[in-house]
Structure 1
């Protein structure tokens, strides 16, 4: 995998993509690696809102601070700005593929497989789930961030 800036994408940008972005930022920083990591949603329902309170609580318990996060929607310029655009699930990847200029589609990937994780290929949406579902997303984010770190040249 090449070195570059990462964009994490989910549906509303209030649960999965903000926490994955924060975990990746922290893991890369702890390894002394500089990388820009942002997040956005394919939908615009939550633009300007903070992360979901349940995700904030789960993230805080795991050592991640999402208090500064403000949701934003995907913009066409994002495909040019970010070297890698990671979708949290197949539906997000379909939406990204439809919006992305054909010459930049090689930048798109599902996050977990791109991070070298076998097994689960999607980060499940915890929005309608339990507290355990939010903790599961954080665990997947941590595994994925570690895999991305291993696969990204210094």
Structure 2
């Protein structure tokens, strides 16, 4: 099996993208794919460089068995477009920012995470930053569903 790399991207890389990073990392490990799948997350903005995931994201993720404590925020870089096989935006605004920065040769790598949802019907993973507990739980519901679909996608593309 050849390696496959995925980058999850939101605005500041402290809520949605580290949640997706942690959830997908756990699913990849559970499926025995960790040695073939490279996972990272980044933000379109450099608001929180080096910061851990938002405490609320960590709390809600940990309640479901996902540890985000080692993840640190960073901004997407030009080299990411070359490095990653799939760059997954959490919403329309971040998708547009990523597409605007992405070289034409790599545009096909840029998609929305929710395209991989199997049960949930949402075009985006909404930003929970100014929401209460329910916002973070909704993020996890969408991310878990999308990551299950993403596992199927990875298995289909990794040879």
Shorter-chain TM-score tier: over 0.9
1:22 aligns with 2:27: no
Map residues 1-154 of structure 1 onto 2, 5 A cutoff: 4-33=4-33, 34-113=36-115, 115-117=116-118, 119-152=121-154, 153=156, 154=158
Deviations 1:32-80 (A, max 9, x none): 1131110000000111111111111111111111111110001000000
Contact in 1 for aligned 2:10/2:44 (Cα 8 Å) = yes
SS of 1:5 mapped into structure 2? strand
Deviations 1:87-132 (A, max 9, x none): 000101000001000111010000111x154621200100000111
Segments of 5+ residues of structure 2 without an aligned counterpart are none
- How many residues in Structure 1 have an aligned counterpart in Structure 2? 152
Q: Structure 1: which 4+ aligned runs deviate by more than 3 Å?
A: none
User: TM-score normalized by structure 1?
Assistant: 0.94
What is the CA-CA distance between 1:151 and the residue it aligns to? Answer: 2.1
Query: 2: distance between equivalents of 1:3 and 1:138?
Result: 26
Segments of 5+ residues of structure 1 without an aligned counterpart are none
What is the CA-CA distance between 1:140 and the residue it aligns to? Answer: 1.0
